[in-house]
Amino acid sequence: MRCDQKFYLHAWHHIEKRNTMRSNLNLLFNPEGVAVIGASNNPAKVGGMTLLSIVSGGFKGEIYPINQREEEIFGFRAYKNVKDVPRKIDLAVICVPASSVKDVLRECVEKGVKFGVIISSGFGEAGGEGRALEREAVKIANDGGMRIVGPNCMGMANSDIKLYALMNMLIPKEGKVSIVSQSGTLGSLTMALASDQGVGFNKFASSGNEADLHAEDFIEYFAQDPKTEVILVFIEGLRDGRKFLKVANEATGNKPLVILKGGITEEGAKAASSHTGSMAGSAPIYEAAFKQTGVIRAFDGEDLIDLAKGFALLPLPKGRRVGMVSAWGGIAVLASDSCARHGLKFPELSKDAMEKLDNLLPPFWSRRNPIDITSAGIYGSWEIFIETTELLLRDDGIDAVICMIPIFTPIFTSAFSRTTQYKDYTENVLQFTEEMEREFMKDFIRLRGYGKPLIVLSFFEGRESESVKTLEENGIPVYRTPEKAAHVLSMLAKYKEYLTDLDVKSR
Amino acid sequence: MRCDQKFYLHAWHHIEKRNTMRSNLNLLFNPEGVAVIGASNNPAKVGGMTLLSIVSGGFKGEIYPINQREEEIFGFRAYKNVKDVPRKIDLAVICVPASSVKDVLRECVEKGVKFGVIISSGFGEAGGEGRALEREAVKIANDGGMRIVGPNCMGMANSDIKLYALMNMLIPKEGKVSIVSQSGTLGSLTMALASDQGVGFNKFASSGNEADLHAEDFIEYFAQDPKTEVILVFIEGLRDGRKFLKVANEATGNKPLVILKGGITEEGAKAASSHTGSMAGSAPIYEAAFKQTGVIRAFDGEDLIDLAKGFALLPLPKGRRVGMVSAWGGIAVLASDSCARHGLKFPELSKDAMEKLDNLLPPFWSRRNPIDITSAGIYGSWEIFIETTELLLRDDGIDAVICMIPIFTPIFTSAFSRTTQYKDYTENVLQFTEEMEREFMKDFIRLRGYGKPLIVLSFFEGRESESVKTLEENGIPVYRTPEKAAHVLSMLAKYKEYLTDLDVKSR
């Protein structure tokens, strides 16, 4: 560690600590009864959409809509007050206007509610009076033994019990990634977009203004949670630097912790301050803290999804030696640039591998790694793609494989819509391509069995493509550009190196 | 210019020049008759797909398939030899095996063909004998007054006459961007993908091994071509540095010249050498050359498309002062980071603008630029999005506007497929959202009329979204991340600064 980093970390230990209780969040994520306070029959209202999210998501536990005027909401009996509910309530999701929140919390405390998720805004982020209101509300809750998520947040989720208390109904695919995000939108969109790319989610917390529970508390909980295998975090600023160092260290020893930090420039920090009221803090402090604790750092929202996909779907590589298969020389050139930039190597092929490839491929193949099998891969048999990829996966000198598969169906569909003649022929080509691709993907996905990271490159990532869907649903991530593939692979390798280093130190 | 750059450029002037003829490519792009030599009835063969591409693309000129065995191909009379064709042929597209190419070229010369596009591979890129064959073939052609595109290329196109002589049938949308690419795939995919994002193309040349005509020749032609308003280039290495400096200068004075250079690392240069046999050359030489000539440099294949979209759809901004509208604070924070990284400014809002916004927006709006209108933009009336954006577009202190529109339809479609209960409600929400979005987009696109760059941020760029399509088809580009939007805007501003600088110098 460099000297200036030590200095920053020392400074960090003196950042104000507002809460040192070790938080048990079990009842937040596994409540026996859930009240939605401010529930509505109108899905265009926050309290309507949040309740609809819970019920349409399939929550099997008890749901209690609270509304002063309605008798029934979405078929559930509504209560005028949380205290009128005859049974136990562990969690209250609060959607009433900020001015009513203190009263609601007093009632929750009387009822014995353990956790409140305050979706309502108009608190700390609004400045002045909002800040005072926020402090008072948290005091009422904490004094009554109740902990608060938010305010000014988008909710929480736990797929174990199909509880999706979200103000936006963006119900994700189930899986093993858990998220805490200071921006509810960013967290929700990450889950929604990644769900279409083969990534499933376990738990989610939108921590909002973090008036009580902080991102650090959720990281701590996810670190110990056996259902969580990858942790994603979006933060603008941390409240408790010392706790972060501790919980990040705990997490990264067992599972990858991927963090996107907003507000790393002066401009960004100013915007963060008006958003969640957080102090974004000095970029070098965060850099030092992330480096020391083995945190994987995401560059932006898209990178967060790319990394989630890589860590959720792929095993860690043993090292940085990459093999590549492509039918297109230009892509191999760009991939070489990208891998070099990210510290990955394209090692030379062994004599044995060269001989096998000479037998397999047309005479004008590249005769080096990255392997350009030339248009033989498109006009010839697609089997040579699979055989070449398999050859690399079996090679002891190769730690990970990138394969650029020519997925043409979505682009043919689009391009052929612009043809004006010979539609019957173009439709035949499209149908032939679709069938060929479908057969190919079926064969290709078994290559996952080699236990090495296998990445597919295709410009159609994120588009409507049956082939891309098949690959990702079967654990083979697809990236749009060589740069993305190389970046993700290098982050997997870096985390592997961090773990190896920990292992050596602990001996 | 720095001293070391001068040195590099001096060195460049001594790079071997292989061809100094000023090339008139009119007959290549506007041929009277086109022969496809090695045409086939089987679209799975190169000669089949290339002919099918020409006929299905709607070419109205004369088409002559040449095949030794067939009488008729795709309904066209086939000839055994190009010399048997009774009428004029300006262009021959050659798909026969490398070993037959010399004979075919001799026949073309006898017939008086002016241009040959050699799609066949097995030449310079295959090394040794292939290199000798390539030299001999070009000599035969040039001695007979014929110029060659390729070999080892993917064809050419000109939308003015609907001529799409492509070996992959990827017929692009018509428009004003022209491309030359040393990688046919990269060029073709760029056109195909960008076509779905509102970008249209005028001319295309896949320059392949560049045994005769070089990328420089096409840049020169596009620079003078009134139908070409934006030039895109993918190169691995240039053959004629002096000519490049001259034609790049000519081009950039009139229209943007966007270049992606593959092989900028040592690894990439090695891969390039086995791909097109080109010398990738030293990265600093290229950097100096691009900088001196006002070339806009793309980072990778995706960036090339992003920049094409920006330059094709947007006017140039007067300066670097950006206004931003978002309903999501986290996105505003990330956008602030991105704009700061790319040298863009979020200027303070004028007193007048602040007053208007205070009247328009809910009390807890960010009260600064970037403008976070908060969830009022989602749950309230969408009109305030348009009014806020319009206010910024009218402001003399703002040169460009980025607007993050909450496009929800594609993500709701996907998320609701995971709901298990209350399907009728979720379907209503989806239908309501679709209708609201459709109305909103109709209103929003008129904001293009202010003549300032207007960019929309949406994570759904590249996905199947009617809203994104409407925006891009109407000249408002959509980008997936704040980073992409900021990068493209900064490149537009940089080119504007280059033009202003030229203007000052020429006075």
CATH number of the CATH domain containing A87? 3.40.50.720
Cβ <8 Å between A299 and B483: yes
Residue A20 has pLDDT above 60, yes or no: no
Confidence class for position B308, pLDDT limits 50, 70, 90? very high
What pLDDT was estimated at residue A376?
A: 60
Residue B294 has pLDDT above 50, yes or no: yes
Amino acid at A159: S
What pLDDT was estimated at residue A269?
A: 81
In a domain, B506, yes or no: no
In a domain, A295, yes or no: yes
A389/A432 same-domain check: yes
Nearest to A330 among B186, B432, B482 (CB): B186
User: Three-class SS of residue B258?
Assistant: strand
Question: CA of A155: how far to CAs of A48, A62, A221, B19, B420, in Å?
Answer: 13, 18, 17, 67, 20
Distance of alpha carbon B330 from alpha carbon A261, whole angstroms: 10
Confidence class for position A505, pLDDT limits 50, 70, 90? confident
- Could you tell me how far CA B117 lies from the centroid of its own chain? 21
What pLDDT was estimated at residue A16?
A: 41
Cβ <8 Å between B328 and A122: no
**Minimum CA–CA partner of A270 in chain B:** B333
B286/B350 same-domain check: no
The last residue of one of the domains, among A294, A313, A332, is A313
Per-state percent for chain B, helix, strand, coil, to nearest 5: 45, 15, 35
Cβ <8 Å between B271 and A126: no
Lowest mean pLDDT among A49-63, A179-193, B117-131: B117-131
Q: What angle do CA A337, A338, A341 make, to 5 degrees?
A: 90
B231/B277 same-domain check: yes
**d(CA A236, nearest CA chain B) in Å:** 8
Lowest mean pLDDT among A181-190, A348-357, B105-114, B378-387: B378-387
Cβ <8 Å between A332 and B271: yes
Residue B447 has pLDDT above 90, yes or no: yes
What pLDDT was estimated at residue B40?
A: 95
Residue B22 has pLDDT above 90, yes or no: no
B319/B309 same-domain check: no
Q: Which tokens is A263 given?
A: 């507000």
Mutate to test the interface with A, among B334, B420, B461, B473 (most CBs of A within 10 A): B334
What pLDDT was estimated at residue A276?
A: 61
Distance of alpha carbon B40 from alpha carbon B67, whole angstroms: 7
Question: CA of A493: how far to CAs of A295, A316, A490, B231, in Å?
Answer: 13, 7, 5, 39
Lowest mean pLDDT among B55-59, B93-97, B462-466: B462-466
Query: In 10 A of CB A45, how many CB atoms?
Result: 16
**Bigger pLDDT: B327 vs A320:** A320
Query: In 10 A of CB B266, how many CB atoms?
Result: 12
- Could you tell me how far CA B501 lies from the centroid of its own chain? 26
Residue B19 has pLDDT above 50, yes or no: no
Give the rounded percent of residues in chain A with a pLDDT score beyond 90: 68
User: Three-class SS of residue A198?
Assistant: coil
Residue B290 has pLDDT above 90, yes or no: yes
Chain B residue numbers with beta carbons less than 8 Å from the beta carbon of A331 are 183, 185-186, 301
Distance of alpha carbon A251 from alpha carbon A295, whole angstroms: 9
B144/B187 same-domain check: no
A122/A213 same-domain check: no
The last residue of one of the domains, among B298, B313, B328, is B313
Confidence class for position A22, pLDDT limits 50, 70, 90? very low
DSSP secondary structure letter of residue A44: T
Q: Is A465 left (phi over 0), alpha (psi -120 to 50) or beta?
A: beta
Distance of alpha carbon B64 from alpha carbon B80, whole angstroms: 10
In a domain, A506, yes or no: no
β-bridge mates for residue A230, sequence order: A177
Per-state percent for chain A, helix, strand, coil, to nearest 5: 45, 15, 35
Cβ <8 Å between B463 and A464: yes
Chain A residue numbers with beta carbons less than 8 Å from the beta carbon of B173 are 418
Give the distance between the most distant pair of CA atoms in chain B. 81
In a domain, B295, yes or no: yes
Q: Which tokens is B274 given?
A: 């086995």
| Predicted confidence (pLDDT) per residue in B366-377, tens digit | 888 999 887 665
Residue B4 has pLDDT above 90, yes or no: no
Task: Find, among A164, A161, A140, the residue nearest to A151 by Cα.
Answer: A140
β-bridge mates for residue A62, sequence order: A33
Mutate to test the interface with B, among A162, A188, A287, A337 (most CBs of B within 10 A): A337
User: Three-class SS of residue A234?
Assistant: strand
In a domain, A117, yes or no: yes
Nearest to B340 among A267, A275, A414 (CB): A267
What pLDDT was estimated at residue B17?
A: 43
Give the rounded percent of residues in chain A with a pLDDT score beyond 70: 92
| Predicted confidence (pLDDT) per residue in B73-131, tens digit | 999 999 999 999 999 999 999 999 999 999 999 999 999 999 999 999 889 888 889 99
β-bridge mates for residue A164, sequence order: A157
**Bigger pLDDT: A57 vs A14:** A57
A305/A372 same-domain check: no
Half-sphere exposure of B396 (CA within 13 A, CB side): 2
Cβ <8 Å between B333 and A275: yes
Q: Which tokens is A472 given?
A: 């990702």
Chain A residue numbers with beta carbons less than 8 Å from the beta carbon of B300 are 334, 338, 481-483
Nearest to B183 among A189, A266, A330 (CB): A330
**d(CA A357, nearest CA chain B) in Å:** 16
**d(CA B506, nearest CA chain A) in Å:** 37
| Predicted confidence (pLDDT) per residue in B7-18, tens digit | 455 555 544 444
Q: How many domains does chain B have?
A: 3
Nearest to B426 among A56, A192, A300 (CB): A56
Residue B380 has pLDDT above 80, yes or no: no
Cβ <8 Å between A340 and B265: yes
Cβ <8 Å between A364 and B130: yes
What pLDDT was estimated at residue A244?
A: 95
Confidence class for position A377, pLDDT limits 50, 70, 90? low
Average pLDDT over residues A232-241: 91
A332/A456 same-domain check: yes
What pLDDT was estimated at residue B365?
A: 82
**d(CA A504, nearest CA chain B) in Å:** 32
Q: What angle do CA A137, A178, A76 make, to 5 degrees?
A: 60
In a domain, B189, yes or no: yes
B397/B336 same-domain check: yes
Q: What range defines the domain where residue A145 resides? A: 31-152
Question: CA of A31: how far to CAs of A21, A25, A93, in Å?
Answer: 20, 10, 11
Confidence class for position A2, pLDDT limits 50, 70, 90? very low
Q: Which tokens is B68 given?
A: 């030794």
In a domain, A503, yes or no: no
| Predicted confidence (pLDDT) per residue in A405-447, tens digit | 878 888 888 888 888 778 888 888 889 888 988 999 999 999 9
Chain B residue numbers with beta carbons less than 8 Å from the beta carbon of A372 are 271, 274-275
Average pLDDT over residues A284-312: 94
Confidence class for position A7, pLDDT limits 50, 70, 90? very low
User: Three-class SS of residue A431?
Assistant: helix
Average pLDDT over residues B24-32: 96
Task: Find, among B29, B101, B95, the residue nearest to B67 by Cα.
Answer: B95
In a domain, B406, yes or no: yes
Cβ <8 Å between B126 and A363: yes
B468/B323 same-domain check: yes
* Mean model confidence pLDDT for chain B: 90
Confidence class for position B462, pLDDT limits 50, 70, 90? low
Chain A residue numbers with beta carbons less than 8 Å from the beta carbon of B481 are 300-302
A378/A472 same-domain check: yes
What pLDDT was estimated at residue B323?
A: 96
| Predicted confidence (pLDDT) per residue in A109-162, tens digit | 999 999 999 999 889 888 889 999 999 999 999 999 999 999 999 999 999 999
B244/B337 same-domain check: no
How many beta-carbon contacts under 8 Å exist across A and B? Answer: 303
CATH of the domain at B409: 3.40.50.261
Confidence class for position A265, pLDDT limits 50, 70, 90? confident
The last residue of one of the domains, among B152, B183, B216, is B152
